[in-house]
Amino acid sequence: MVEKRLLEKEDLFKIQSVSNPQLSPNDKEAVFIKTKIDEKENQYFSEIFHLDVETEKVTQWTFGNERISSPKWSPNGEQVAFISNRNEKSQLYMINKSGGEARKITNLESGINSFSWSPCGEKIWITGSLKEDASFTDQAEKEKEDKEQPKAYIVDKMRYKADGVKGHGLKKQGVHTQIAILSLNDESIEQFSEGTHSHSLYDISPDGTKVIIGVNREEQDDYNFSQPLIMVDVETKEETVLVNHEGYYGGAKFSYDGRYIAYSGSDAAFKNATHSHVYIYDIESGTTQNLTESIDCPVGDYAVADTQQGIDAPSIVWTQANDLYFQLSNLGDVQLYYASLEGAIYPASPEGEHVYDYTVSKDGQFAIIAVSNPTFPGELFVYEIAKGERKQVTHFNDEWLNEVILSKPEPIVYESTNDLQVHGWLMKPANFEENKKYPLVVEIHGGPHTMYANSFFHELQLLAAQGYGVLYVNPRGSHGYSQEFVNGVRGDYGGGDYEDIMAGLDFVLGEETWIDETRLGVTGGSYGGFMTNWIVGHTNRFKAAVTQRSISNWVSFFGVSDIGYYFTPWQIGTDMVDPEKLWEHSPLKYAKNIDTPLLILHSELDFRCPIEQAEQLFITLKSMGKETSFVRFPDNNHNLSRTGTPNLRIERLDQIVSWFEQYLG
């Protein structure tokens, strides 16, 4: 029996992420993706594996240093197509079930974004980026011309940049996503969509005669956030609009018999805090029903975590009997749910866990689900739905789990202001001993419309391994609860949400004698960074704080963030017409009150919460003689903690741990 050790920062390199299960047409085998972080290469690499569902034998199919996504079986089940960046650009590849090397299918200068098999198996529909005057066939030549010399970037719209876009976050001008049809016989490409708008491809009908696309053809899209879903006749190009009003809709999928289309999404009644639902469009009658209208929690996966990579769970999966499966976030769980067209809806997987990816057999008898919980990073299970029985079929993390000591979070429910019930978790230090006192760190998630969940979180486990208790809660504004609850933060940043977090702290201090209330820390990123800034400006109860990718000044955020001009009025309730209100909700206004030693972490290529937010806070605090430090991470965006450069993810964790060690002991 090997003596277990405490978890370390570098365990990020040992945890394997298993995702993208895809059943073959015969439902007897599947492929999936395993992603790991290569410490030597300082990169993320992924591989395709094959699963024999009956024998549970797992076989590795690809072995290169590459990132792979979207594995999809051919209609006859003999090949698997996938997207790989093995030659820098993301191109389409195909591998035969019988063996052999994967073959490169596309060679487009800008690569491809997505693809879907045509039901005939002789064609593949693809999407890719094109300049307005280019086609897929002459794309390479046009792109080379553009690279000859730099050009001025002329801005005439507010939505001109985006976090995560390479370079300086600037979107390519005059470039749009278009749809094309690739013939596998001669690898010729026929362009299907055109114009000056970007198109999404969702599904092809079972008989191959219709496709579902998403496209917004409005010329001025600064304040237009809709993406109409349209069914298009492949031959005539005749269009039938499925939904066309403000909101977020996608994931559209034809039923096996071709009569229905299911899709998920939300209207804009509560802006980006609106619950998502499952909708069914009946092609014969032209009517739409909201299948999940009676459920007061959101369809989809809103969990935050830091080890799962490359997740691409379907929005909805049909069975041949016209039943449906989808994910639903509820009270910190992400479960697989079942629904019938007649209105029956119920959970199809257990509570207390995070189903972060899945696929369902055509007869609906079983699913392959990727499951995580707070002490389990995630593996694949074959799950017999009707029996409620399942068996683990991948074991990539078994050896690692046998090495480390993990802290098991205990769920808590407590009362905040206005008799509001708030849900969260408390972790004891991993080496907990009775009758000893320990420091406590409060962690605050981003969003704010996401949620902490019954899922594995390396950062939280690391703090527990370092001897800290960890409190993490879902204050108002979090998803997974009622529409009223998730909307409760809008227009009230630093109000009820602050009260919820502090009430949670008071609750555990009253219940747990092992917590040393003289050694309290607080940290969070994005919205959690805003709230960390706000907390230390409104109380001195915390002895150390770490703010990450934060908002400190809503006045400047309005103009510098890629989403600032619309996110600010959505969340704060006003814009630059009322800068006084923006300033009232800005942590920077209360900098003079900050006596808590504050570490500021920020990525230099963060265009969601730009680094100037950190710069303002740091210089202000430093000028006032406050205890603070500022760490900048080069070449990384808003997602450093989840998908950032591996060595800088380790450095980030080291900075957090070192700061708390210095001030909390």
* Cβ partners under 8 Å of residue 136, min gap 6: 108, 128, 130, 178, 180, 189, 191
Whether the per-residue pLDDT at 130 is higher than 80: the answer is yes
Residue 12 pLDDT grade (very low, low, confident, very high; cuts 50, 70, 90): very high
Contact (Cβ atoms closer than 8 angstroms) between residue 108 and residue 128: yes
Comparing 142 with 138, the larger pLDDT belongs to: 138
For 338, other C-beta atoms within 10 Å of its C-beta total 18
Q: Give tens-digit pLDDT for 309-342.
A: 999 999 999 999 999 999 999 999 999 999 999 9
The pLDDT of residue 630? 98
Contact (Cβ atoms closer than 8 angstroms) between residue 278 and residue 235: no
Average pLDDT over all residues of the chain: 96
Residue 133 pLDDT grade (very low, low, confident, very high; cuts 50, 70, 90): confident
* Cβ partners under 8 Å of residue 152, min gap 6: none
Helix (H, G, I), strand (E, B) or coil at 658: helix
pLDDT average, residue stretch 508-526: 98
Report residue 148 as tokens: 């000859």
Place of tokens 């430090």: 629
CA distance 34 to 152: 42
The residue length of the chain stands at: 665
Q: How far is CA 438 from the centre of its chain?
A: 33
pLDDT average, residue stretch 655-663: 98
Percent of the chain with pLDDT over 70: 98
Q: Give tens-digit pLDDT for 275-310.
A: 999 999 999 999 999 999 999 999 999 999 999 999
**Axis-axis angle for helices 458-465, 646-664 (nearest 10):** 40
Pairing of strands 114-117, 123-131: antiparallel
Residue 616 pLDDT grade (very low, low, confident, very high; cuts 50, 70, 90): very high
Q: How far is CA 510 from the centre of its chain?
A: 35
Report residue 629 as tokens: 């430090």
Catalytic positions are: 526, 638
CA distance 562 to 631: 22
pLDDT average, residue stretch 391-398: 98
**Which residue type, as a one-letter code, is found at position 414?**
Y
The pLDDT of residue 148? 72
62-70 contacts, C-beta under 8 A, 24 or more apart: 62/95, 62/102, 65/38, 65/41, 67/35, 67/310, 68/33, 68/310, 69/20, 69/33, 69/310, 69/312, 70/20, 70/114, 70/115, 70/312
CATH H superfamily, domain 17-160+176-195: TolB, C-terminal domain (2.120.10.30)
For 648, other C-beta atoms within 10 Å of its C-beta total 18
Q: Which CATH class is domain 401-664?
A: alpha beta
Residue 1 pLDDT grade (very low, low, confident, very high; cuts 50, 70, 90): low
Phi-psi sector, 658: left (phi>0), alpha (psi -120 to 50), beta: alpha
Q: Phi and psi dihedrals of 532, rounded to 5?
A: -60, -45
The pLDDT of residue 141? 43
Whether the per-residue pLDDT at 146 is higher than 70: the answer is no
Residue 66 pLDDT grade (very low, low, confident, very high; cuts 50, 70, 90): very high
Comparing 522 with 219, the larger pLDDT belongs to: 522
For 412, other C-beta atoms within 10 Å of its C-beta total 17
Residue 88 pLDDT grade (very low, low, confident, very high; cuts 50, 70, 90): confident
Alpha carbons within 13 A on the beta-carbon side of 165: 14
Percent of the chain with pLDDT over 90: 92
Place of tokens 């051919």: 74
The pLDDT of residue 137? 76
Q: Could you tell me the sign of the dihedral formed by the alpha carbons of 64, 69, 75, 77, in that order?
A: positive
End-to-end CA distance of the chain: 33
Whether the per-residue pLDDT at 140 is higher than 70: the answer is no
CA distance 611 to 618: 11
The pLDDT of residue 597? 98
Residue ranges of the chain assigned to CATH 2.120.10.30: 17-160+176-195
Report residue 473 as tokens: 């809660």
Residue ranges of the chain assigned to CATH 3.40.50.1820: 401-664
CA distance 346 to 355: 15
Whether the per-residue pLDDT at 159 is higher than 60: the answer is yes
CA distance 581 to 577: 9
Contact (Cβ atoms closer than 8 angstroms) between residue 279 and residue 290: yes
